[in-house]
Amino acid sequence: MDSRQLIIGNKNYSSWSLRPWVFMKYHALAFEEIRIPLYRAQSSQQLLAYSPTGMVPVLADGDITVWDSLAICEYISETYLDGKGWPQPHKARAYARSISAEMHSGFSNLRKALSMNVRARFQWQTVNSDVDNEIARIFAIWDDCRAQFGSAGPWLFGEFSIADAMFAPVCLRFDRYNVPLTAIVQAYVEQMLGWTVMKEWCDAARQETEVIAWAENAQFLKLEG
């Protein structure tokens, strides 16, 4: 049994669980995966055995418990990666921290309207100006990252960082809802979804049988799934 345990929710629906999972997978850090399906009668009780909040994700590392996706990535970076989970140049590091925090605390309209659902594909439709504005903001972030810091590789800051982990579920949302994308954004989404680690997550999500009704998003015309 691995000393590290990562407690996650349904891979089909849990965007927060995806973030530390892909980050640890990228850095080849072994961990035991414990999947607890969400929104079932026993889910809260099962989660409280691991998490003081009763929410996912949670990292158990020996006698240390870390909850919250960004906190887990930060902990892994400083404990096992000598801080290299963030870009090393000072300016890039500051920018990466800022956009990761913005992703963590913001974009509530986008999250609500475009719930994560790996198994499904939807026909795009404009929801409201708040969602449009948040999509435009993400486009601007990615454009700026790639222009300023992306010359050394295909990720937001060239090499993969916590920022990429934080935005990984957004790539899935853009793809599954057929959001119209610019060339730069499309290239980044293709980079993320073509990555073997993301393919592994998505393949596992498609094998799940649980259904969370509100995340099936009847507001959009479903094309598949």
* CA atoms of 182 and 179, how far apart (whole Å): 10
208, burial (CB in 10 Å: exposed 0-12, middle 13-18, buried 19+): middle
Q: Which of 77, 42, 35, 74 is nearest to 57 (CA)?
A: 35
103, burial (CB in 10 Å: exposed 0-12, middle 13-18, buried 19+): buried
- Per-residue pLDDT of 3-56, as tens digits, reads 899 999 999 999 999 999 999 999 999 999 999 999 999 999 999 999 999 999
The confidence score (pLDDT) of residue 2 equals 63
173 contacts 193 by C-beta, under 8 angstroms: no
Q: Encoding tokens for residue 66?
A: 């870390």
Amino acid letter, 211: V
Higher pLDDT, 224 or 205: 205
Instruction: Confirm whether 4-80 and 90-206 share one CATH topology.
Output: no
The confidence score (pLDDT) of residue 86 equals 98
Q: Where are the domains of the chain?
A: 4-80, 90-206
- Per-residue pLDDT of 63-118, as tens digits, reads 999 999 999 999 999 999 999 999 999 999 999 999 999 999 999 999 999 999 99
The architecture CATH gives domain 90-206 = Up-down Bundle (1.20)
Strand 64-67 to 121-122 pairing: unpaired
176, burial (CB in 10 Å: exposed 0-12, middle 13-18, buried 19+): buried
CATH homologous superfamily for the domain 4-80: Glutaredoxin (3.40.30.10)
Q: pTM of the predicted model, to two decimals?
A: 0.96
